[in-house]
Chain A
């Protein structure tokens, strides 16, 4: 699916973090968001997910195109991995078969009956990413998806994203690790940062801790 944004302003709190964000992503393509901490990668992803309405600009994509995976995984500790995924499948109206597929894709089958609270950080992350599959949405918005994943899981995740792309989907990924995806464009968020952007604030922070 081909989608893009034009002249988008992204706001976090009362402050415009990014202005004039313009790009297009073709079907089967992934875009990697780069930029220093605080440059607005998460804000851009949250704006596209519909969590923060943009004050200006347009998003040229059908509604319900985006699946968002942020820093928090949205798993309930008291429910098992399988129950968590089935709940999200129900919310997104997916058929129960996708849950089985997602369990296999992220090697979660042995953990399906375990409470999410008893998982390790990496296993929790894999369960959180498996949720992307049950949403059935074409565009994945990924915010640091590989945090706390081991090398093998990162590779498996890269393979799964590549399959999603091959199936006509697309992805916007904020990451500091290369996922080995072919044909990935890089988009430096800092280019759209406001003059009083957070990269300046981070420099002051770095000075302070020196």
Chain B
């Protein structure tokens, strides 16, 4: 399983792997929003938590359609499912590699972008905490969606439509953590709920993704 994560990371870092894609998309999205809305603190500051979290959700979505599709095309997926590693382990390893190439860099880059949207300073640590706690759920939900659409030739649009609604709880609680922190309120309640959503996703979705993979390869 660790070997699979390591291989996926190596593939992402090699030419054409697209490791930095999500991060660059996130940076561009936030910068364009700031440019489009205009550099006014009274306009940007209230929407900053929502913009940052929406950017993170969309960036995570970006590389999902390649998650299983490339492995299915070259036969790797067939061989992985006949290997001693259970399909649940394959799904979990894929999600972990996805998070390490999208969610983790986003979390690190977010504090740099927060001032661009006039997010108040005390809210920045909470932004990092909410992204660190919330983005693993996005990767896991995305892996499940990718497993469902792996057999389809034009699955990426369907994948977005499947995954985005499932991301709503994470988006709502994640943005609420930052919003409450920015307003000087106690953000621990939405943070706990955000963690609960992530834990539920990590506990249940590897099994759902594995079942979807088995059905799709039949």
Q: Do A and B come from one complex?
A: yes
Interface check A75, CB cutoff 8 A: yes
Contacts of A50 in B (CB 8 A): 81-82
CB of A79 within 8 A of CB of B10, answer yes
Known contacts A70-B75, A73-B74, A75-B74; A49/B82 CB under 8 A? yes
Interface check A4, CB cutoff 8 A: no
Given pairs A73-B74, A91-B84, 8 additional interface contacts (CB within 8 A): A11-B218, A68-B82, A72-B73, A72-B76, A78-B16, A87-B4, A91-B4, A91-B80
CB distance from A111 to the nearest CB of B (A): 18
CB of B85 within 8 A of CB of A78, answer no
How big is chain B's contact interface, by range? 20 to 34
CB of A74 within 8 A of CB of B7, answer no
A76 to B6, CA, bound (A): 13
Q: Nearest A residue to B70 by beta-carbon distance?
A: A76
Q: Nearest A residue to B73 by beta-carbon distance?
A: A72
| Cβ-closest 3 pairs across A and B | A72-B75, A90-B3, A78-B14
Q: Which of B55-109 contact A (CB under 8 A)?
A: 73-76, 78-85
CB of A51 within 8 A of CB of B83, answer no
Contacts of B83 in A (CB 8 A): 91-92, 135
Interface check B184, CB cutoff 8 A: no
CB of A74 within 8 A of CB of B10, answer no
Interface check A66, CB cutoff 8 A: yes
CB distance from A83 to the nearest CB of B (A): 8
Q: Which of A81-133 contact B (CB under 8 A)?
A: 83, 87-88, 90-93, 131
Interface check B11, CB cutoff 8 A: yes
Interface check B17, CB cutoff 8 A: yes
Could you give, for residues 37-55 of chain A, a 1 whenever the CB lies within 8 Å of some chain B CB and a 0 otherwise?
A: 0000000001001111100
Interface check A71, CB cutoff 8 A: yes
A83 to B9, CA, bound (A): 13
Contacts of A188 in B (CB 8 A): none
Contacts of A202 in B (CB 8 A): none
Contacts of A73 in B (CB 8 A): 74-75
CB of B3 within 8 A of CB of A87, answer yes
A118 to B172, CA, bound (A): 47
Could you give, for residues 194-217 of chain B, a 1 whenever the CB lies within 8 Å of some chain A CB and a 0 otherwise?
A: 000000000000000000000001
CB distance from B46 to the nearest CB of A (A): 44
Contacts of B79 in A (CB 8 A): 68, 74, 88, 131
Partner of A51, one of B16, B84, B218: B218
